[in-house]
Amino acid sequence: MDGRDLLEADALRSFAVFAEHRNFTTAARELHISQPSLHVKIRKLATALGVELYERDGRRLTLTAAGDRLAAYALDSRRRAEEFLRELDHESAPTLTIAAGRGALRWVIGESIERIGRQGRRVHVITADRDAALAAVTSGRADLAVVAHDPPGRQVEARQIAAYRQVLVLGAEHPLATRRQVRLGDLDGLDLVVPPAGRPHRRALDRALHDAGVRWQVAAEVDGWDLLVHLAALGVGATVVNGCVGLPDGLRAVPIHGLPEVRYWATWRPARRPVVRDLLDQFGTDR
């Protein structure tokens, strides 16, 4: 029996592994116990708590609301045990797990991650869209998430860490490239490289252009700021991105009047505030 076993109830540790995989066979294998034994542990835990912890949807297992809360608690307990044991052994600070989209990781928080890494802090990254990043935080799989646009809900703590103007990206030879600023009406008739339908940035852009009476054509649909800019560099069409996005030679970024700034939020559960404090300090004030 190691230190972690002493610090954690066996049933709670087993449920944490099950909640991570949502699969009895995989969880039992990781725990080095039989599948029937794992069933018994979780059934006894549910009985003791007086709640259902999971339900079946065909072959798929999903956690109930109570199961989600217990999973987050179990993962917190597991991490706190690991952190305490590292302190006893005089090891480095615990690994910080961050969930964020590709664009945020590259252009919004990339430098902050680099700085905290130079301080000796290990960082584990989960690449995820907004919904998946928030789910990773609420489930306990991530310590902190970075999401764009609207602030997260009240079940988590959050702080705005950045805000960027939206810019029109096009070839340096285009007539609009010499402007200090363009209006939405100036985009009339343009071929645009845009995210796929349904993405938050695409929905907001569709709505703004429609309200302004702008006629435009879809030149290509790709996911991610880097691919939007890449296709613009290939001459496929102009694109609209956040002002933080780096551009290759031959492209110009012109601020767009009439589109709101895109805000970025760091969000975490209150229980993980001590773990994420160092990274929050690196973000500094809102940009």
Same domain for 33 and 144? yes
Q: Say yes or no: 147 and 171 in one domain.
A: no
C-alpha 195/C-alpha 234 separation (Å) is 17
Contacts of 150 (CB under 8 A, 6+ apart): none
Q: Which domain holds residue 127?
A: 3-161+264-283
* Distance from chain centroid for Cα 11: 30
Tokens at residue 32, please?
Answer: 């080095």
Here the CATH number for the domain that contains residue 39 is 1.10.10.10
Poorest-confidence range of 38-42, 72-76, 171-175, 217-221? 72-76
Name the one residue in this structure whose structure tokens are 């764009």: 148
Give yes or no: residues 144 and 279 share one domain: yes
Domain count, the chain: 2
45 and 134 share a domain?
Answer: yes
Looking at the structure, tell me whether residues 240 and 273 fall in a common domain.
no
8 and 122 in a single domain? The answer is yes
Same domain, 157 and 194: no
pTM across the whole model? 0.70
Asked if 142 and 214 sit in the same domain, the reply is: no
130 with 143, same domain? Answer: yes
Handedness of CA 80, 137, 47, 11 (dihedral sign): negative
Domain with residue 181: its CATH number is 3.40.190.290
- Alpha helices, H only, the chain: 3-7, 10-21, 24-31, 35-49, 65-88, 102-103, 110-118, 130-139, 200-211, 225-233, 273-283
Tell me the CA distances in angstroms from 212 to 49, 180, 205, 215, one per residue in order. 56, 20, 11, 9
20 and 153 both lie in a single domain: yes
pLDDT (tens digit, 9 = 90+) per residue, 230-286? 999 999 999 999 999 999 999 999 999 999 999 999 999 888 888 888 888 888 544
* In a shared domain, residues 188 and 268: no
